């Protein structure tokens, strides 16, 4: 949806700014997406990318320079969409027409995630790749709906069952740091707006510290957000 934060705010949040409560999280999400670009997009022969549930295309600056065409897919109410997705989730595109499908923080909002993933698989070319991020732990955030959270194994299971082989899987914010993120958010909206950045600035260094000492294995198993790359079989 267009209500998502502008790309520059999501990509480069400021600790004292409007996105202060998401400061560390958004930086880690950007870094993971940059790593995916480096590993899977930068030198790929696939040059057409479809942002499935594009909102205001906040991550186009990361992916756009490395593909020939960046296409936004979304519901008709989103004026920034290049291709319309109908209310049943059907994309107005032919089979095997794109090299990449990008899905960032969308899967938790769709009513039928299985159909969503199968439609992504349908429009991908052979050996094309799905780049997806979605939540393990996170606060309720309807945009306009919010249906799902996944365990690491549950997310991998539903993606594989839609016709994919997972070739990359990582987590952002391990259990202890995510616990602090939820604690921060649990009290955040009880403060007047003017005090919320100050509360976030107090908690963010602790979130950073506990995430730094977490192991990569535990983060892949138990995280606030998972990022995966999956190849169409």
Contact 135, 225 (CB under 8 A): yes
Q: Would the pLDDT of 211 be above 70?
A: yes
Burial of 212 (0-12, 13-18, 19+ CB in 10 A): exposed
pLDDT at 69: 96
- Confidence check: pLDDT of 209 > 60: yes
* Residue 161 vs residue 19, higher pLDDT: 161
Given its phi and psi angles, is residue 18 left (phi above 0), alpha (psi -120 to 50 degrees) or beta? alpha
The alpha carbons of the chain give a radius of gyration, in whole angstroms, of 17
Residue 144 has pLDDT above 90, yes or no: no
Report the distance separating Cα 108 and Cα 72, nearest Å.
18
Nearest to 23 by CA among 33, 13, 32, 31: 13
Q: What is the pLDDT of residue 3?
A: 47
């Amino acid at each position: 949806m267009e209500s998502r934060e502008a790309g520059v705010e999501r990509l480069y949040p400021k600790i004292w700014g409007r996105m202060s409560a998401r400061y560390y999280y958004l930086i880690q999400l950007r870094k993971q997406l940059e790593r995916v670009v480096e590993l899977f997009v930068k030198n790929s022969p696939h040059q057409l990318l479809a942002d499935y549930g594009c909102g205001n295309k906040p991550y186009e600056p990361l992916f756009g320079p490395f593909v020939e065409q960046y296409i936004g897919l979304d519901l008709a109410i989103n004026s920034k969409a290049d291709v319309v997705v109908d209310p049943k989730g059907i994309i107005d595109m032919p089979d095997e027409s794109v090299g990449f499908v990008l899905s960032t923080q969308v899967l938790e909002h769709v009513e039928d995630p299985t159909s969503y993933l199968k439609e992504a698989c349908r429009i991908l070319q052979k050996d094309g790749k799905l780049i997806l991020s979605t939540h393990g732990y996170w606060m309720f955030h309807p945009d306009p709906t919010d249906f799902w959270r996944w365990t690491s194994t549950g997310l991998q299971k539903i993606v594989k069952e839609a016709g994919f082989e997972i070739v990359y899987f990582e987590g952002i914010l391990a259990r202890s740091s995510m616990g602090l993120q939820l604690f921060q958010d649990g009290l955040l909206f009880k403060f007047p707006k003017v005090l919320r950045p100050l509360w976030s600035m107090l908690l963010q260094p602790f979130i950073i510290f506990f995430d730094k000492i977490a192991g990569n294995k535990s983060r892949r198993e138990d995280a606030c957000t998972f990022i995966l790359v999956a190849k169409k079989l």
